[in-house]
């Protein structure tokens, strides 16, 4: 096999709780993360040596500043393989959105190289490579509905998200993740995040309770002036609840019917930079030939 294509879902944060800082100065987190049906498409072509990259998005770097290239470097180092690959990324997920598009690309590279070079690494080993690449990458490999703690290195099982629909709005300006955390430290603003209650609501398949307990410690710190207006508009359009995802700037609403979600999606077209209609999915980065229909449960 000389070429493989991977689909890598984006993520949203149903919750994000900053619980402290470790000895290296990294923020410790407790989050409920959810994969959604918005996909990056990563095609890998084996080559004799070197790591090269191309993309349909001209605004992203194609050298080691890109997490996808760094993932390939880390993979070859970990596997002790003197190999090469050309990476082509068809981007869908906006940057600086809090949806981990770059981490999805990195996860896609790791999964794809594991297939191309027949290394047969376990998911635990793939996550080790992912952790060397970025804090969100291990979750983007595993996917689904998970409770993620520490600096992204602790992934705990969680009940599957019940059937629902998301409308995800990306405003005109993105948010820098380092800046959002720096602002949080400066402001000292703490949101009430009740992760245990959110976990219970998911187990009970109670969408109203899930919406009630969605919360994000970084909402105020992100400093996006669009967050509150979009949240308000999503609720007005029928969302059960709304919250910013990750470090922002994307904001999503959760809906209990496809009809309501589609109406909201149409409402936001032209009002925000980009808007997505999505569902929860129960997988991370996956080889397309192995996946079949994107979500077998739905």
Residue from 177, 161, 182, 173 nearest 246 by CA: 177
Q: Rounded to an integer, what distance in angstroms lies between the CA atom of residue 127 and that of residue 124?
A: 5
Is 47 in contact with 84 (CB distance < 8 Å)? yes
State residue 292's pLDDT score: 54
Please tell me the predicted confidence (pLDDT) of residue 241: 98
Residues 124-141: b if buried by 16+ CB within 10 A, e if exposed: eebbbbbbbbbbbbbbbb
* Alpha-carbon radius of gyration of the chain: 18
Contact 97, 248 (CB under 8 A): yes
Chunked in runs of 10, what are the mean pLDDT values of the chain (298 residues)? 96 97 95 98 97 96 97 98 96 98 98 98 98 97 98 97 98 95 90 97 98 97 95 98 97 98 98 98 91 46
Q: What local confidence, expressed as pLDDT, does residue 142 receive? A: 98
Task: Give the pLDDT of residue 7.
Answer: 98
Q: List, in order of start, the domains of the chain with CATH numbers.
A: 3-158+281-289 (3.30.230.10), 165-278 (3.30.70.890)
Tokens 């995802």 appear where? 245
Angle between helices 258-268 and 227-236 (to 10 degrees): 140
Token pair in block for residue 16: 């994000």
Angstrom distance (rounded) from CA 75 to CA 114: 8
What pLDDT does residue 291 have? Answer: 61
Residue 65: active-site member? no
How much is the pLDDT for 189? 80
Active-site residue (options: 17, 136, 217, 226): 136
Q: Note if 11 is an active site residue.
A: yes
């Amino acid at each position: 096999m000389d070429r493989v294509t991977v689909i890598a879902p984006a993520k949203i944060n149903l919750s994000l709780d900053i619980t402290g800082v470790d000895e290296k100065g990294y923020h410790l987190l407790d989050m409920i993360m959810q994969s959604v049906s918005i996909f990056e498409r990563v095609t890998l072509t084996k080559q004799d040596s070197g790591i090269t990259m191309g993309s349909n998005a001209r605004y992203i770097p194609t050298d080691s500043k890109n997490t996808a290239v760094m993932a390939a470097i880390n993979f070859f180092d970990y596997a002790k393989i003197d190999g090469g690959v050309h990476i082509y990324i068809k981007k869908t997920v906006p940057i600086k959105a809090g949806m981990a598009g770059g981490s999805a690309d990195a996860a896609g590279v790791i999964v794809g190289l594991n297939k191309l070079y027949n290394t047969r690494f376990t998911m635990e080993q793939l996550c080790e490579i992912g952790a060397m690449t970025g804090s969100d990458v291990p979750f983007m490999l595993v996917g689904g509905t998970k409770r993620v703690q520490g600096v992204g290195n602790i992934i705990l099982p969680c009940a599957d998200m019940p059937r629902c629909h998301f409308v995800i709005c990306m405003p005109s300006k993105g948010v820098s993740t380092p800046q959002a955390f720096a602002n949080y430290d400066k402001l000292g603003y703490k949101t009430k995040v009740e992760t245990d209650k959110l976990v219970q609501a998911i187990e009970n398949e109670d969408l109203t309770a899930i919406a009630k307990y969605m919360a994000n410690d970084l909402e105020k710190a992100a400093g996006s002036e669009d967050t509150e207006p979009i949240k308000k508009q999503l609720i007005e359009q029928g969302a059960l609840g709304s919250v910013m995802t990750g470090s922002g700037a994307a904001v999503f609403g959760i809906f209990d019917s496809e009809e309501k979600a589609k109406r909201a999606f149409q409402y936001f077209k032209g009002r925000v930079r980009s808007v997505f209609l999505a569902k929860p999915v129960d997988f991370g980065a996956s080889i397309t030939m192995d996946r079949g229909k994107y979500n077998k449960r739905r």
